[in-house]
Structure 1
Amino acid sequence: MTDIKAEIREFRIGEKIRALRQQKRLTLQELSDLTTLSKPLLSQIENQQVIPPLATLLKIAKGLKVDIHFFFEDEGNRQKYVLTRSDEAPERIFRQTSDDAARPYIYHSLAPGLRHKHMEPFLVEFEKREWDDKLLFKHEGDEEFLYVTEGELEFHYNNEIISLHSGDSIYYDSSQLHGWVAVGEGRARAVAVLYSRE
């Protein structure tokens, strides 16, 4: 079984958030106000007790005025590419937490460590569940591309509901309310790419 806590420590997302917050001279309460996330949750993330789901990480990135890529960069990494073989497990796994249980997915970074990326690719696994409006979220200034590799997804975008099957893809402005849920038989998998325009 994977030691999730060890993975968090190795990736140092909490440390990066704390260092950047302190550099910007923000208190935890001020960051809470900027992100609408609770102060205790932010503290747990900074202390590497909680793995932040992607939507939570996006809120923190916006609050700190950095691209989400900041959290996946390795300052010591000088390589120009990241190769991920089909028979290799993705290096990092981020799971939903009890603090954000409404996010029914697991995501794997497909380009960990590479510096100064403009895009952030993920392999995302969606759990089958009933739709809930709590799954809707948005983040300003970003665009996303999603390609379904397995299963069936129900994509909610503003007031539309779109069914996506294996081989389907969608490119959208993520500043609009959106959310996904797996439907049909079992879980669904997709490749998602986030792009920050700022």
Structure 2
Amino acid sequence: MADDHDTADFAEVLTGVGPRLRALRQGRGATLTQLSEETGISVSTLSRLESGQRRPTLELLLPLARAYRVPLDELVNAPATGDPRIHPRPFNRNGRVFVPLTRHLGGLHAYKMIIPPEPFGEGRLEQRTHEGYDWLYVLAGRLRLALGEHDLVLTAGEAAEFDTRVPHGFANPGPHPVEVLSLFGAQGERIHVRARPAQG
């Protein structure tokens, strides 16, 4: 009977890998093509992994764990050891530092973002849309938030929340780094870039 229980647990772990991989990729705004170029795994294999049609193997999961900068046991949802502490592994995207504050790949994602002063922080911002809902809290510095037709500057202690289907973008107008706490609930597809308005 114990063997049957272990087999069921193993099957449940394998079944959950695909949705976790998809949630992680979509939460970071990456396409299958981009992930394929980074890992060397074909787009079709990645797609079958995410849909559960391909059995996850160590040879496939190791490069994905490296690409996402997460521990291998997080990809397969290994049983908890009882230690509630999270060991963040910061990653850099477009010059901005992201520090993951959540361990699980599905559901709500929490990040601390550190954005250095940006030369384009005062200019017109590129806005994007994607499924989900975002909540931002400025810990230190100043954050410029372009949200639809609104253009706001948030300072330390201020927060904003919005549906990410509304075109949005943010930047650091300087002169010091800005630190932001971000809670994001991803529920949809990859990010779609909205064309920049024509320069006047």
* TM-score, scaled relative to structure 2: 0.54
Alignment of 1:28-67 (within 5 A): 39=33, 41-47=34-40
CA RMSD of aligned residues (A): 3.7
Q: Deviations over 1:38-91 (max 9, x none)?
A: 94x44332339xxxxxxxxxxx99xx78xxxxx76432433388434xxxxx52
Number of the residue aligned with 2:76: 75
Cα distance in 2 for partners of 1:118, 1:193 equals 10
Q: SS where residue 43 of structure 1 aligns?
A: helix
Alignment of 1:168-183 (within 5 A): 168-183=158-173
8 A Cα contact 2:125 2:146, kept in partner: no
Q: Name which of 147, 160, 165 aligns with 1:157.
A: 147
8 A Cα contact 1:157 1:177, kept in partner: yes
Amino acid at match of 1:83: R
Q: Which entry has the higher C-alpha Rg, 1 or 2?
A: 2
Change (3 A) 1:171 1:46: same
Gaps of 5+ in 2: 1-16, 23-28, 52-67, 189-200
Q: SS where residue 38 of structure 2 aligns?
A: helix
4+ residue runs of structure 1 moved beyond 6 angstroms?
none
8 A Cα contact 2:116 2:174, kept in partner: no
Change (3 A) 1:194 1:36: closer
Q: Is 1:138 the equivalent of 2:135?
A: no
Tell me how far 1:37 sits from its aligned partner. Answer: 5.7
Number of the residue aligned with 1:190: 180
Tell me how far 1:156 sits from its aligned partner. Answer: 0.5
Cα distance in 1 for partners of 2:159, 2:145 equals 11
Gaps of 5+ in 1: 1-15, 22-34, 49-59, 66-70, 85-89, 97-102
Cα distance in 2 for partners of 1:143, 1:81 equals 29
Cα distance in 2 for partners of 1:47, 1:110 equals 28
Identity, in percent, stands at 16
8 A Cα contact 1:104 1:181, kept in partner: no
Amino acid at match of 2:36: S
Cα distance in 1 for partners of 2:172, 2:143 equals 5
Amino acid at match of 1:124: M
Change (3 A) 1:83 1:93: same
* TM-score, scaled relative to structure 1: 0.55
Cα distance in 1 for partners of 2:136, 2:157 equals 10
Q: Is 1:107 the equivalent of 2:107?
A: no
| Aligned length, in residue pairs | 136
Cα distance in 1 for partners of 2:83, 2:129 equals 30
Q: SS where residue 171 of structure 2 aligns?
A: strand
